[in-house]
Structure 1
Protein backbone atom coordinates (compact mmCIF):
# COMPACT_ATOMS: atom_id res chain seq x y z
CA UNK A 1 0.00 0.00 0.00
CA UNK A 2 1.13 3.57 -0.68
CA UNK A 3 2.59 5.88 1.93
CA UNK A 4 0.46 9.06 1.97
CA UNK A 5 1.41 12.69 2.60
CA UNK A 6 -0.44 15.98 2.54
CA UNK A 7 1.49 18.56 0.53
CA UNK A 8 1.23 21.47 -1.88
CA UNK A 9 1.28 20.98 -5.63
CA UNK A 10 4.29 23.29 -5.94
CA UNK A 11 6.32 20.92 -3.72
CA UNK A 12 5.71 18.16 -6.24
CA UNK A 13 6.91 20.46 -9.04
CA UNK A 14 9.98 21.78 -7.21
CA UNK A 15 11.25 18.54 -5.72
CA UNK A 16 11.68 15.94 -8.45
CA UNK A 17 12.51 13.20 -5.96
CA UNK A 18 8.88 13.27 -4.84
CA UNK A 19 7.86 11.92 -8.24
CA UNK A 20 10.60 9.29 -8.39
CA UNK A 21 10.18 7.60 -5.05
CA UNK A 22 11.41 3.99 -4.93
CA UNK A 23 8.52 3.16 -2.59
CA UNK A 24 4.84 3.71 -3.42
CA UNK A 25 3.68 7.20 -2.36
CA UNK A 26 0.46 9.14 -2.72
CA UNK A 27 0.18 12.88 -2.24
CA UNK A 28 -3.04 14.48 -1.01
CA UNK A 29 -3.14 18.03 -2.41
CA UNK A 30 -5.77 20.69 -1.69
CA UNK A 31 -7.33 22.04 -4.88
CA UNK A 32 -6.38 25.62 -4.03
CA UNK A 33 -2.72 24.64 -4.15
CA UNK A 34 -3.26 23.51 -7.76
CA UNK A 35 -4.63 26.96 -8.54
CA UNK A 36 -1.54 28.43 -6.93
CA UNK A 37 0.56 26.77 -9.65
CA UNK A 38 -0.93 29.17 -12.20
CA UNK A 39 0.12 32.12 -10.04
CA UNK A 40 3.66 30.77 -9.80
CA UNK A 41 3.78 30.16 -13.54
CA UNK A 42 2.69 33.72 -14.39
CA UNK A 43 4.62 35.50 -11.65
CA UNK A 44 7.70 37.57 -12.40
CA UNK A 45 8.80 36.90 -8.83
CA UNK A 46 11.37 34.07 -8.67
CA UNK A 47 10.58 30.82 -6.89
CA UNK A 48 14.26 30.00 -6.47
CA UNK A 49 17.30 32.16 -5.71
CA UNK A 50 19.39 30.84 -8.59
CA UNK A 51 18.06 32.05 -12.00
CA UNK A 52 18.80 28.70 -13.71
CA UNK A 53 17.03 26.80 -10.92
CA UNK A 54 14.12 29.24 -11.15
CA UNK A 55 13.76 28.63 -14.90
CA UNK A 56 13.88 24.88 -14.32
CA UNK A 57 11.23 25.01 -11.57
CA UNK A 58 8.93 27.25 -13.63
CA UNK A 59 9.28 24.76 -16.51
CA UNK A 60 8.35 21.93 -14.11
CA UNK A 61 5.38 23.96 -12.83
CA UNK A 62 4.20 24.40 -16.44
CA UNK A 63 4.62 20.68 -17.11
CA UNK A 64 2.61 19.83 -14.00
CA UNK A 65 -0.15 22.25 -15.00
CA UNK A 66 -0.27 20.66 -18.47
CA UNK A 67 -0.49 17.22 -16.90
CA UNK A 68 -3.38 18.27 -14.66
CA UNK A 69 -5.13 19.79 -17.69
CA UNK A 70 -5.13 16.51 -19.62
CA UNK A 71 -8.78 15.46 -20.12
CA UNK A 72 -8.78 12.39 -17.86
CA UNK A 73 -6.98 14.19 -15.03
CA UNK A 74 -9.20 17.25 -15.43
CA UNK A 75 -12.28 15.03 -15.19
CA UNK A 76 -10.98 13.47 -11.96
CA UNK A 77 -10.31 16.90 -10.47
CA UNK A 78 -13.72 18.31 -11.48
CA UNK A 79 -15.50 15.41 -9.79
CA UNK A 80 -13.73 16.17 -6.52
CA UNK A 81 -14.98 19.76 -6.66
CA UNK A 82 -18.63 18.75 -6.43
CA UNK A 83 -18.63 18.47 -2.62
CA UNK A 84 -16.57 19.84 0.26
CA UNK A 85 -13.83 17.43 1.28
CA UNK A 86 -14.42 15.17 -1.71
CA UNK A 87 -11.31 13.52 -3.14
CA UNK A 88 -10.40 12.83 -6.74
CA UNK A 89 -9.48 9.44 -8.04
CA UNK A 90 -5.70 9.01 -8.03
CA UNK A 91 -3.81 10.87 -10.75
CA UNK A 92 -0.94 8.58 -11.67
CA UNK A 93 2.59 9.78 -12.39
CA UNK A 94 4.25 6.36 -12.51
CA UNK A 95 3.89 2.92 -10.96
CA UNK A 96 4.93 4.21 -7.51
CA UNK A 97 3.59 7.76 -7.46
CA UNK A 98 0.09 9.20 -7.50
CA UNK A 99 -1.67 12.35 -6.39
CA UNK A 100 -5.18 12.88 -5.08
CA UNK A 101 -6.81 16.31 -5.18
CA UNK A 102 -9.02 17.13 -2.21
CA UNK A 103 -11.64 19.87 -2.16
CA UNK A 104 -10.47 21.16 1.21
CA UNK A 105 -12.43 23.86 2.96
CA UNK A 106 -10.65 26.63 4.88
CA UNK A 107 -12.72 27.13 8.00
CA UNK A 108 -10.39 29.85 9.31
CA UNK A 109 -9.86 27.63 12.34
CA UNK A 110 -6.15 28.49 12.35
CA UNK A 111 -6.51 31.88 10.67
CA UNK A 112 -4.35 33.77 13.12
CA UNK A 113 -1.42 31.37 12.59
CA UNK A 114 -1.64 30.33 8.94
CA UNK A 115 -2.63 31.60 5.51
CA UNK A 116 -5.64 29.94 3.79
CA UNK A 117 -3.62 27.27 1.94
CA UNK A 118 -1.61 26.42 5.04
CA UNK A 119 -4.89 26.13 6.95
CA UNK A 120 -6.28 23.77 4.29
CA UNK A 121 -3.14 21.65 4.48
CA UNK A 122 -3.38 21.43 8.28
CA UNK A 123 -7.09 20.63 8.22
CA UNK A 124 -6.55 18.01 5.50
CA UNK A 125 -3.74 16.41 7.50
CA UNK A 126 -5.97 16.31 10.59
CA UNK A 127 -9.00 15.02 8.70
CA UNK A 128 -7.06 12.30 6.87
CA UNK A 129 -4.71 11.54 9.82
CA UNK A 130 -1.70 12.00 7.54
CA UNK A 131 1.59 13.83 7.91
CA UNK A 132 2.41 17.06 6.06
CA UNK A 133 5.43 17.23 3.77
CA UNK A 134 6.92 20.73 3.29
CA UNK A 135 10.12 22.70 2.78
CA UNK A 136 8.92 25.72 4.78
CA UNK A 137 10.81 25.64 8.06
CA UNK A 138 9.10 28.80 9.33
CA UNK A 139 5.72 27.14 8.82
CA UNK A 140 6.91 24.01 10.66
CA UNK A 141 7.93 26.24 13.57
CA UNK A 142 4.53 27.99 13.53
CA UNK A 143 2.77 24.59 13.57
CA UNK A 144 4.80 23.59 16.63
CA UNK A 145 4.30 26.97 18.28
CA UNK A 146 0.52 26.77 17.78
CA UNK A 147 0.49 23.19 19.15
CA UNK A 148 -1.36 21.95 16.08
CA UNK A 149 -1.90 18.18 16.36
CA UNK A 150 -0.30 17.15 13.06
CA UNK A 151 2.92 15.43 12.14
CA UNK A 152 5.21 17.35 9.75
CA UNK A 153 8.22 16.24 7.74
CA UNK A 154 10.75 18.50 6.12
CA UNK A 155 11.29 17.63 2.44
CA UNK A 156 14.95 16.95 3.26
CA UNK A 157 13.70 14.06 5.40
CA UNK A 158 11.57 12.58 2.61
CA UNK A 159 13.39 9.22 2.54
CA UNK A 160 12.99 8.85 6.30
CA UNK A 161 9.34 9.91 6.07
CA UNK A 162 8.60 7.20 3.51
CA UNK A 163 10.10 4.57 5.83
CA UNK A 164 8.84 5.97 9.17
CA UNK A 165 6.96 3.10 10.87
CA UNK A 166 4.84 5.62 12.79
CA UNK A 167 2.87 6.34 9.64
CA UNK A 168 3.02 3.13 7.66
CA UNK A 169 -0.39 2.39 6.21
CA UNK A 170 -2.00 -0.95 7.09
Structure 2
Protein backbone atom coordinates (compact mmCIF):
# COMPACT_ATOMS: atom_id res chain seq x y z
CA UNK A 1 0.00 0.00 0.00
CA UNK A 2 1.33 3.43 -0.88
CA UNK A 3 1.97 6.19 1.62
CA UNK A 4 -0.20 9.25 1.29
CA UNK A 5 0.58 12.90 1.95
CA UNK A 6 -1.34 16.11 1.37
CA UNK A 7 0.92 18.65 -0.32
CA UNK A 8 1.10 21.45 -2.86
CA UNK A 9 1.81 20.81 -6.53
CA UNK A 10 4.81 23.17 -6.47
CA UNK A 11 6.59 20.78 -4.08
CA UNK A 12 6.94 18.33 -6.99
CA UNK A 13 8.84 20.99 -8.97
CA UNK A 14 11.04 22.20 -6.13
CA UNK A 15 11.89 18.85 -4.53
CA UNK A 16 12.77 16.28 -7.18
CA UNK A 17 13.28 13.57 -4.54
CA UNK A 18 9.49 13.46 -4.10
CA UNK A 19 9.23 12.02 -7.61
CA UNK A 20 11.66 9.17 -6.97
CA UNK A 21 10.72 7.71 -3.57
CA UNK A 22 12.03 4.31 -2.54
CA UNK A 23 8.52 3.00 -1.91
CA UNK A 24 5.12 3.88 -3.44
CA UNK A 25 3.67 7.24 -2.47
CA UNK A 26 0.50 9.12 -3.38
CA UNK A 27 0.38 12.90 -3.09
CA UNK A 28 -3.08 14.36 -2.56
CA UNK A 29 -2.93 17.81 -4.12
CA UNK A 30 -5.67 20.46 -3.85
CA UNK A 31 -6.65 21.71 -7.31
CA UNK A 32 -5.98 25.32 -6.31
CA UNK A 33 -2.29 24.44 -5.92
CA UNK A 34 -2.21 23.37 -9.57
CA UNK A 35 -3.69 26.75 -10.51
CA UNK A 36 -0.99 28.35 -8.37
CA UNK A 37 1.66 26.79 -10.65
CA UNK A 38 0.57 29.11 -13.46
CA UNK A 39 0.91 32.14 -11.19
CA UNK A 40 4.36 31.02 -10.01
CA UNK A 41 5.53 30.42 -13.56
CA UNK A 42 4.50 33.92 -14.67
CA UNK A 43 5.65 35.72 -11.54
CA UNK A 44 8.76 37.87 -11.61
CA UNK A 45 9.21 37.16 -7.89
CA UNK A 46 11.99 34.63 -7.28
CA UNK A 47 11.01 31.29 -5.76
CA UNK A 48 14.56 30.44 -4.80
CA UNK A 49 17.37 32.61 -3.41
CA UNK A 50 19.95 31.53 -5.99
CA UNK A 51 19.16 32.69 -9.56
CA UNK A 52 20.25 29.40 -11.20
CA UNK A 53 18.06 27.44 -8.75
CA UNK A 54 15.16 29.80 -9.40
CA UNK A 55 15.50 29.33 -13.16
CA UNK A 56 15.65 25.54 -12.69
CA UNK A 57 12.53 25.47 -10.49
CA UNK A 58 10.58 27.67 -12.91
CA UNK A 59 11.56 25.31 -15.75
CA UNK A 60 10.35 22.36 -13.65
CA UNK A 61 7.08 24.19 -12.95
CA UNK A 62 6.67 24.62 -16.72
CA UNK A 63 7.30 20.89 -17.23
CA UNK A 64 4.76 20.01 -14.53
CA UNK A 65 2.15 22.31 -16.07
CA UNK A 66 2.77 20.74 -19.48
CA UNK A 67 2.40 17.28 -17.93
CA UNK A 68 -0.91 18.21 -16.27
CA UNK A 69 -2.11 19.67 -19.60
CA UNK A 70 -1.57 16.41 -21.48
CA UNK A 71 -5.03 15.26 -22.65
CA UNK A 72 -5.32 12.16 -20.42
CA UNK A 73 -4.09 13.97 -17.31
CA UNK A 74 -6.27 16.99 -18.05
CA UNK A 75 -9.28 14.69 -18.41
CA UNK A 76 -8.50 13.05 -15.06
CA UNK A 77 -8.24 16.43 -13.34
CA UNK A 78 -11.47 17.74 -14.86
CA UNK A 79 -13.38 14.71 -13.55
CA UNK A 80 -13.09 15.95 -9.97
CA UNK A 81 -13.93 19.61 -10.54
CA UNK A 82 -17.73 19.43 -10.55
CA UNK A 83 -18.18 18.08 -7.04
CA UNK A 84 -16.64 19.51 -3.84
CA UNK A 85 -14.12 17.12 -2.28
CA UNK A 86 -14.15 14.79 -5.28
CA UNK A 87 -10.80 13.18 -6.15
CA UNK A 88 -9.33 12.60 -9.59
CA UNK A 89 -8.06 9.24 -10.77
CA UNK A 90 -4.36 8.86 -10.02
CA UNK A 91 -1.86 10.63 -12.29
CA UNK A 92 1.44 8.79 -12.45
CA UNK A 93 4.61 10.79 -11.83
CA UNK A 94 7.09 7.97 -12.08
CA UNK A 95 7.47 4.37 -11.07
CA UNK A 96 6.65 4.91 -7.39
CA UNK A 97 4.91 8.30 -7.23
CA UNK A 98 1.46 9.48 -8.20
CA UNK A 99 -0.72 12.54 -7.67
CA UNK A 100 -4.41 12.57 -6.95
CA UNK A 101 -6.05 15.97 -7.36
CA UNK A 102 -8.77 16.87 -4.89
CA UNK A 103 -11.38 19.57 -5.40
CA UNK A 104 -10.97 20.89 -1.87
CA UNK A 105 -13.03 23.77 -0.56
CA UNK A 106 -11.73 26.60 1.64
CA UNK A 107 -14.44 27.39 4.14
CA UNK A 108 -12.36 30.00 6.02
CA UNK A 109 -12.51 27.87 9.16
CA UNK A 110 -9.01 28.95 10.16
CA UNK A 111 -9.64 32.66 9.67
CA UNK A 112 -6.61 34.87 9.25
CA UNK A 113 -4.14 32.40 10.76
CA UNK A 114 -3.81 30.43 7.50
CA UNK A 115 -4.11 31.56 3.88
CA UNK A 116 -6.69 29.85 1.62
CA UNK A 117 -4.27 27.24 0.23
CA UNK A 118 -2.96 26.41 3.71
CA UNK A 119 -6.57 26.07 4.88
CA UNK A 120 -7.30 23.66 2.03
CA UNK A 121 -4.24 21.59 2.97
CA UNK A 122 -5.41 21.47 6.59
CA UNK A 123 -9.00 20.57 5.72
CA UNK A 124 -7.88 17.90 3.24
CA UNK A 125 -5.54 16.42 5.83
CA UNK A 126 -8.29 16.34 8.44
CA UNK A 127 -10.91 14.99 6.05
CA UNK A 128 -8.70 12.17 4.70
CA UNK A 129 -6.75 11.62 7.93
CA UNK A 130 -3.38 11.79 6.20
CA UNK A 131 -0.35 13.97 7.01
CA UNK A 132 0.73 17.19 5.35
CA UNK A 133 4.15 17.43 3.70
CA UNK A 134 5.45 21.00 3.40
CA UNK A 135 8.53 23.18 3.34
CA UNK A 136 6.70 26.07 5.02
CA UNK A 137 8.44 26.28 8.39
CA UNK A 138 6.14 29.08 9.59
CA UNK A 139 3.05 27.07 8.69
CA UNK A 140 4.32 24.09 10.67
CA UNK A 141 4.75 26.32 13.72
CA UNK A 142 1.28 27.84 13.31
CA UNK A 143 -0.18 24.32 13.12
CA UNK A 144 1.63 23.30 16.31
CA UNK A 145 0.93 26.55 18.15
CA UNK A 146 -2.73 26.46 17.13
CA UNK A 147 -3.19 22.85 18.19
CA UNK A 148 -4.58 21.98 14.76
CA UNK A 149 -5.38 18.23 14.76
CA UNK A 150 -3.20 17.16 11.81
CA UNK A 151 0.15 15.47 11.38
CA UNK A 152 2.64 17.60 9.49
CA UNK A 153 6.12 16.77 8.21
CA UNK A 154 8.82 19.13 7.02
CA UNK A 155 9.92 18.24 3.50
CA UNK A 156 13.47 17.75 4.80
CA UNK A 157 12.09 14.85 6.85
CA UNK A 158 10.53 13.13 3.81
CA UNK A 159 12.43 9.85 4.22
CA UNK A 160 11.56 9.75 7.93
CA UNK A 161 7.91 10.52 7.12
CA UNK A 162 7.84 7.63 4.65
CA UNK A 163 9.22 5.26 7.29
CA UNK A 164 6.96 6.69 10.01
CA UNK A 165 3.82 6.29 7.89
CA UNK A 166 4.84 2.73 7.01
CA UNK A 167 5.30 1.98 10.72
CA UNK A 168 1.91 3.50 11.64
CA UNK A 169 0.08 1.49 9.00
CA UNK A 170 1.64 -1.79 10.09
CA UNK A 171 0.75 -1.39 13.78
- Shorter-chain TM-score tier: over 0.9
Kindly report structure 1 stretches of 4+ aligned residues shifted beyond 4 Å. Answer: none
Partners of 1:68 and 1:74 within 8 A in 2: yes
| Alignment of 1:146 onto 2:150 | no
User: What do residues 72-104 of structure 1 show as CA deviations (whole Å, max 9, x unaligned)?
Assistant: 000000001010000000000122110000000
Query: 2:93 aligns to what SS in structure 1?
Result: strand
Runs of 5+ consecutive residues of structure 2 not aligned to the other structure? none
2:79 equivalent in structure 1? 79
1:24 equivalent in structure 2? 24
TM-score, normalising length: structure 1: 0.97
What count of residue pairs does the alignment treat as equivalent? 170
| Alignment of 1:54 onto 2:72 | no
Q: How far apart are the structure 2 equivalents of 1:35 and 1:114?
A: 18
1:11 equivalent in structure 2? 11
Query: 1:98 aligns to what SS in structure 2?
Result: strand
Partners of 2:20 and 2:95 within 8 A in 1: no
Q: How far apart are the structure 2 equivalents of 1:9 and 1:99?
A: 9
Partners of 1:2 and 1:25 within 8 A in 2: yes
| Alignment of 1:42 onto 2:42 | yes
TM-score, normalising length: structure 2: 0.97
Q: CA deviation at 1:111?
A: 1.8
